[in-house]
Amino acid sequence: ADLREGDVIFCKDARLPDLVAHALYIWRADGSLFLARYQPLPALERVGDRVGERYVTKQLIGAGEGEAMPLARIVAIAIRKIG
């Protein structure tokens, strides 16, 4: 994801039953926040423009140590900071 500090984004609450494959989410894991796309399949297939992007697979979702929970889905970048 090409987001930088200062970018203004629109988000939608993330609910586990409503996760969308390959959508970009803000995740929490082990006390940190990070951006990653959701991948519902256990095996990650890397193709084309998806190479190099960070994914969270269905098996990594949870509230335990080393697991991630989605907080919000990024639905739009409203204003991108220049410079």
> pLDDT per residue over 21-77, tens digit each?
999 999 999 999 999 999 887 765 554 445 567 888 888 899 899 899 999 999 998
pTM of the model: 0.81
Between the CA of residue 30 and those of 10, 14, 38, 65, what are the distances in Å?
24, 18, 18, 6
Binned at pLDDT 50, 70 and 90, residue 1 comes out as low
Q: Is the pLDDT of residue 18 over 80?
A: yes
For residues 3 and 28, give the distance between their C-alpha atoms in angstroms, rounded to a whole number.
17
Exposed e or buried b per residue across 22-41, where buried means at least 16 C-beta atoms within 10 angstroms of its C-beta: eebbbbebeeeeeebbbbee
Q: What pLDDT score does 24 carry?
A: 93
Q: Is the pLDDT of residue 16 over 70?
A: yes
Residue 63, token pair as written in the block: 């509230």
Torsion of CA 53, 56, 59, 62, to 10 degrees: 160
